[in-house]
């Protein structure tokens, strides 16, 4: 995707084209993130919260919640500026796969690619589908899928 002008935040529906891409900045997953998410969600599964249990369990260390990774990915996407202030609704998450664990201390970023655009005049905008990949510092895809959003049209 071409960079946005400094004075503009968010792209209108008419500006999206299939094939456009953007990559977010990275963000490191901290223990505080995981503890806060456990409190917010109520998910205190030992694989996330108990170091000794996790040493003996599947991955040999604590793992961040998959839904925490998805939530952080959403924030990273907004921080690119591409959808900031122009998204009217998050419509769907399709084909989402958690393919590798996200560990405490991992740094993730998102790669977004516009895969479909569909005008929805009666809603004063259109549906934009993004193919999303969440990638760690080892260049491994840890989760991926499609996000469909309702994006507002350019003001007349």
14: DSSP letter: G
44 part of a folded domain = yes
Tell me the per-residue pLDDT of 69-100, one tens digit each, with 9 for 90 and over. Answer: 999 999 999 999 999 999 999 999 999 999 99
Q: Which domain holds residue 84?
A: 18-152
Cα gap 23→92, rounded to integer Å: 21
Strand partners, 94: 146
43 in a structural domain? yes
Q: pLDDT tens digit string along 92-105?
A: 999 999 999 999 99
Q: Which of 95, 75, 84 is nearest to 24 (CA)?
A: 75
Please indicate, yes or no, if residue 26 is contained in any of the structural domains: yes
Considering the domain boundaries, does residue 107 fall inside one? yes
Domain membership flag for residue 27: yes
**Sign of CA pseudo-dihedral 86, 91, 97, 101:** positive
For the chain, the domain total comes to: 1
Q: Please give the residue that has the higher pLDDT: either 7 or 131.
A: 131
Residue-wise pLDDT for 43-61, tens only, equals 999 999 999 999 998 899 9
């Amino acid at each position: 995707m071409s960079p946005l002008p400094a004075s503009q935040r968010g792209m209108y529906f008419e500006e999206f084209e299939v094939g456009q891409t953007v990559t977010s900045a990275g963000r490191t997953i901290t223990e505080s993130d995981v503890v806060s998410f456990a409190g917010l969600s109520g998910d205190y599964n030992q694989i996330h919260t108990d170091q000794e249990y996790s040493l003996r369990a599947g991955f040999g260390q604590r793992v961040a919640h998959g839904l925490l990774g998805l939530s952080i990915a959403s924030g990273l996407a907004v921080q690119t500026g591409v959808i900031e202030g122009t998204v009217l609704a998050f419509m769907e998450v399709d084909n989402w796969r958690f393919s590798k664990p996200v560990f405490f201390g991992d740094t993730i970023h998102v790669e977004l690619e516009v895969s479909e655009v569909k005008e929805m005049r009666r809603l004063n905008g259109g549906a934009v589908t993004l193919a999303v990949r969440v990638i760690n510092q080892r260049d491994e895809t840890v989760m991926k899928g499609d996000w469909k959003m309702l994006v507002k049209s350019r003001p007349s």
